[in-house]
Amino acid sequence: MPHPIPVSAAFSIRLATPADAPELACLRYEFRTTLDVPTEPADVFLARCTSWMSDRLRPAAAWRCWVAETPTALIGAVWLHFLEKIPNPVSEPEGHGYITNVYVRPDHRGSGVGGRLIAAALAECDRRALHSVILWPTPRSRTLYERHGFGVPRTLLERPPVGELHGHARSAV
């Protein structure tokens, strides 16, 4: 008897375009509202996020997004922001990458979608010879990123928000 085909067996990865912004905004809402209670109505957020994403998906923008899609829907995405460094007179790359909003719909997890999305973003980082690539993992995603070469930073310092400096907690990013 043949094995059943995994739900996400037939997916592809491609660079997102501004036309993907409405569906990407829905993915963002789905992702973030599973982590915390929304503070604005869904329709207001979706309009605001769609506009933001559409602007940042233009070819000249400092953002890139790759989507995983089946023939009928987007099932995941990863966003990458390019951070410029000041020009340098020595042999050191002049840019960093920031990976964020890595999300795969729950019914497609565990089948390689997230790994392929990360690989697409990292291939662009490698193509651009960036100095480093950073991200903030969730406890659940940490092993995925470690499999792609991420580790605890050796040279990065972080200043927490002012509220944390004074003993107040903040919500997750």
Return the CATH number at 43. 3.40.630.30
In angstroms, what CA-CA distances link 20 with 4, 8, 105? 30, 19, 16
For residue 31, count other CB atoms closer than 10 A to its CB. Answer: 16
Residue 82 lies in a domain: yes
Residue 124 located in a structural domain: yes
| DSSP H helical ranges for 91-166 | 113-127, 142-147, 162-165
Share in percent of the chain as helix, strand, coil (round to 5): 35, 20, 45
Q: Is the pLDDT of residue 3 over 50?
A: no
Residue 88 tokens, joined: 């340098």
pLDDT at residue 154 in the model: 85
Q: How confident is the model at residue 169 (pLDDT cuts 50, 70, 90)?
A: low
pLDDT band at 130 (very low <50, low <70, confident <90, very high): very high
Task: Name the token pair of 107.
Answer: 């019914």
More confident residue, 76 or 173: 76
Domain containing residue 124:
12-149
Residue 169 lies in a domain: no
The answer as to whether 170 is a domain residue is: no
pLDDT band at 168 (very low <50, low <70, confident <90, very high): low
In this prediction, residues 97-114 reach a mean pLDDT of 95
Provide the domain count of the chain: 1
**Residue 31 lies inside a defined structural domain of this protein:** yes
pLDDT of residue 15: 98
Assess if residue 21 is contained within a domain.
Answer: yes
pLDDT recorded at residue 153:
86
pLDDT at 6 over 50: no
